[in-house]
Structure 1
Amino acid sequence: MLRLTDVHLPLDHPDSDLPAAILARLKIDAGELVGYTVFRRGYDARRKNAIMLVYTLDVTVRDEAAVLTRLQGVPHIGITPDMEYKFVARATASIAARPDAARPVIIGFGPCGIFAALILAQMGFKPIILERGKVVRERTKDTWGLWRKRDLNPESNVQFGEGGAGTFSDGKLHSGIKDPKHYSRKVLTEFVKHYAPEEILYVSKPHIGTFRLVKMVEAMRETIEALGGEFRFQAKVTDLDIDDAQGGKQIRGVVLENGEHIATEHVVLAVGHSARDTFQMLFDRGVYIEAKPFSIGFRIEHPQSLIDRARFGKFAGHPLLGAADYKLVHHCKNGRAVYSFCMCPGGTVVAATSEPGRVVTNGMSQYSRNERNANSGFVVGIDPKDFGGDKHPLAGIEFQRELESRAFVMGGSNYDAPGQLVGDFLAGKPSKEFGSVLPSYKPGVHLTDLAPALPAYAIEAMREAIPAFDRQIKGYAMRDAVLTGVETRTSSPVRIKRLDNFQSLNTKGLFPAGEGAGYAGGILSAAVDGIKVAEAVALSMVGSTDIHGGTVGGAQIY
Structure 2
Amino acid sequence: MSMVNVVDLICIGRGRVENLLEKIFNKKNVRGKEMLKINNIKMPVKHNENDLKNVVCKLYKINKNEIKSFEIAGQAIDARKKNNVVFVYAVNIELENKKKFENIKNIKKFEKQIYSISKIENFSENEKIKRPVVVGSGPAGIFAGLVMAEAGLKPIIIEQGKNVDERKKDVYNFFKTRKLNKYSNVQFGEGGAGTFSDGKLNTNTNNFRMQKIYDELILAGAEKKISYMSKPHIGTDKLIGIMKNIRKKIESLGGEYRFCTKLTKINYENNKLKEIEVEDLENEKKYTVSTNIAVLAIGHSARETFYMLNEQKVQMERKIFSVGVRIEHKQSMINRAQYGKFADKLPSAEYKLNVKTSNGRGVYTFCMCPGGVVVPSASEENRLVVNGMSYSKRNLENANSAILVNVFPDDFEGNSVLAGIEFQRKLEEKAFILGGSDYKAPVQLFGDFLNNKVSKKLGNVKPSYLADYKFADLNQIFPEYINSSLKEGITLMDKKIKGFANYDAILTGVESRSSSPVKIPRNEKFFANIEGIMPCGEGAGYAGGIMSAAVDGVKCAEFVVEYFKDLMSK
Give the TM-score range, shorter chain: over 0.9
Q: Which amino acid is the alignment partner of residue 553 of structure 1? A: S
Residue equivalent to 2:296? 269
Residue equivalent to 1:82? 112
Residue equivalent to 1:419? 443
**Structure 1 residue 361 and structure 2 residue 347: aligned?**
no
Residue equivalent to 1:307? 334
| TM-score, normalised by the number of residues in structure 2 | 0.90
Residue equivalent to 2:39? 5
User: Which deviates the most, 4-13 or 250-259?
Assistant: 4-13
**Structure 1 residue 39 and structure 2 residue 69: aligned?**
no
Residue equivalent to 1:141? 169
**Structure 1 residue 528 and structure 2 residue 544: aligned?**
no
Task: Provide Cα deviations, 1:379-438, integer angstroms capped at 9, x if missing partner.
Answer: 10111111147x221000000000000111111111111110011112222211112211
Q: Whole-Å Cα distance in 2 between the matches of residues 78 and 120 of structure 1?
A: 35
Q: Which amino acid is the alignment partner of residue 316 of structure 2? A: I
1:488-503 equivalences in 2 (<5 Å):
488-503=512-527
Work out whether residues 237 and 254 of structure 1, in 8 Å CA contact, stay in contact via their aligned partners in 2.
yes
Q: 1:62 aligns with which of 89, 93, 96?
A: 96
Task: Describe the shift of the 1:317–1:81 C-alpha distance in structure 2 as closer, same or farther (beyond 3 A).
Answer: farther
Percent identity reads 45
**Structure 1 residue 224 and structure 2 residue 250: aligned?**
yes
**Structure 1 residue 517 and structure 2 residue 540: aligned?**
yes
Residue equivalent to 1:547? none
Q: 1:317 aligns with which of 325, 335, 344?
A: 344
Residue equivalent to 1:329? 354
Residue equivalent to 1:171? 199
Q: Whole-Å Cα distance in 1 between the matches of residues 369 and 48 of structure 2?
A: 30
State the 1:449 CA deviation: 1.2
Work out whether residues 125 and 131 of structure 2, in 8 Å CA contact, stay in contact via their aligned partners in 1.
no
User: Which deviates the most, 251-260 or 274-283?
Assistant: 251-260
SS in 1 for 2:113: coil
Work out whether residues 58 and 80 of structure 1, in 8 Å CA contact, stay in contact via their aligned partners in 2.
no
State the 1:237 CA deviation: 0.7
SS in 2 for 1:81: strand
State the 1:192 CA deviation: 0.7
Task: Describe the shift of the 1:541–1:14 C-alpha distance in structure 2 as closer, same or farther (beyond 3 A).
Answer: closer
Work out whether residues 39 and 90 of structure 2, in 8 Å CA contact, stay in contact via their aligned partners in 1.
yes
SS in 2 for 1:451: helix
State the 1:206 CA deviation: 1.3
Q: Whole-Å Cα distance in 1 between the matches of residues 304 and 193 of structure 2?
A: 16
**Structure 1 residue 251 and structure 2 residue 276: aligned?**
no
Residue equivalent to 2:147? 119
Residue equivalent to 1:484? 508
Q: 2:569 aligns with which of 534, 543, 553?
A: 553
Task: Provide Cα deviations, 1:205-249, integer angstroms capped at 9, x if missing partner.
Answer: 1111111111011111111111101111101010001213xxxx1
SS in 2 for 1:260: strand
Task: Describe the shift of the 1:129–1:32 C-alpha distance in structure 2 as closer, same or farther (beyond 3 A).
Answer: closer
1:143-292 equivalences in 2 (<5 Å):
143-179=171-207, 182-244=208-270, 249-257=271-279, 258-292=285-319
Task: Provide Cα deviations, 1:51-106, integer angstroms capped at 9, x if missing partner.
Answer: 111111111223112322xxx2x44311233220021x31111x426542200000
**Structure 1 residue 440 and structure 2 residue 472: aligned?**
no
User: Which deviates the most, 16-25 or 132-141?
Assistant: 16-25
Q: Whole-Å Cα distance in 2 between the matches of residues 475 and 443 of structure 1?
A: 27
Task: Provide Cα deviations, 1:126-179, integer angstroms capped at 9, x if missing partner.
Answer: 000100011111111111222111100111111111111011000001211131
Q: Whole-Å Cα distance in 1 between the matches of residues 139 and 50 of structure 2?
A: 39
Q: 1:52 aligns with which of 74, 77, 86?
A: 86
Work out whether residues 115 and 530 of structure 1, in 8 Å CA contact, stay in contact via their aligned partners in 2.
yes
Q: Whole-Å Cα distance in 2 between the matches of residues 253 and 76 of structure 1?
A: 55
Task: Describe the shift of the 1:58–1:235 C-alpha distance in structure 2 as closer, same or farther (beyond 3 A).
Answer: same
Q: Which amino acid is the alignment partner of residue 480 of structure 2? A: A
Q: Whole-Å Cα distance in 1 between the matches of residues 199 and 146 of structure 2?
A: 19
Q: Whole-Å Cα distance in 2 between the matches of residues 148 and 284 of structure 1?
A: 37
Task: Describe the shift of the 1:537–1:33 C-alpha distance in structure 2 as closer, same or farther (beyond 3 A).
Answer: closer
Q: Which amino acid is the alignment partner of residue 388 of structure 2? A: G
Residue equivalent to 2:473? 449
State the 1:499 CA deviation: 1.3
Q: Whole-Å Cα distance in 2 between the matches of residues 553 and 190 of structure 1?
A: 31
Q: Whole-Å Cα distance in 1 between the matches of residues 225 and 338 of structure 2?
A: 22
Q: For structure 1, list consecutive stretches of 5 or more residues without a partner in the other structure.
A: 545-551
Task: Describe the shift of the 1:384–1:541 C-alpha distance in structure 2 as closer, same or farther (beyond 3 A).
Answer: same
Task: Describe the shift of the 1:406–1:58 C-alpha distance in structure 2 as closer, same or farther (beyond 3 A).
Answer: same
Work out whether residues 446 and 504 of structure 2, in 8 Å CA contact, stay in contact via their aligned partners in 1.
yes
Q: Which amino acid is the alignment partner of residue 317 of structure 1? A: D
Q: 1:399 aligns with which of 419, 423, 446?
A: 423
Task: Provide Cα deviations, 1:445-486, integer angstroms capped at 9, x if missing partner.
Answer: 111211111110011111112221111111111111100000
Residue equivalent to 2:560? 537
State the 1:250 CA deviation: 0.9
Residue equivalent to 1:92? 121
Task: Describe the shift of the 1:151–1:98 C-alpha distance in structure 2 as closer, same or farther (beyond 3 A).
Answer: same
State the 1:443 CA deviation: 1.4
Work out whether residues 432 and 448 of structure 1, in 8 Å CA contact, stay in contact via their aligned partners in 2.
no
Q: Whole-Å Cα distance in 2 between the matches of residues 415 and 29 of structure 1?
A: 63
Q: Whole-Å Cα distance in 2 between the matches of residues 430 and 518 of structure 1?
A: 37
SS in 1 for 2:423: helix
Q: Whole-Å Cα distance in 2 between the matches of residues 135 and 122 of structure 1?
A: 22
User: Which deviates the most, 201-210 or 299-308?
Assistant: 201-210
Q: Whole-Å Cα distance in 1 between the matches of residues 558 and 449 of structure 2?
A: 49
Residue equivalent to 2:32? none
Work out whether residues 373 and 466 of structure 2, in 8 Å CA contact, stay in contact via their aligned partners in 1.
no
State the 1:28 CA deviation: 4.6
Q: Whole-Å Cα distance in 1 between the matches of residues 301 and 552 of structure 2?
A: 18
Q: Whole-Å Cα distance in 2 between the matches of residues 432 and 334 of structure 1?
A: 31
Residue equivalent to 1:549? none
Q: For structure 2, list consecutive stretches of 5 or more residues without a partner in the other structure.
A: 1-34, 280-284
Task: Describe the shift of the 1:399–1:374 C-alpha distance in structure 2 as closer, same or farther (beyond 3 A).
Answer: same
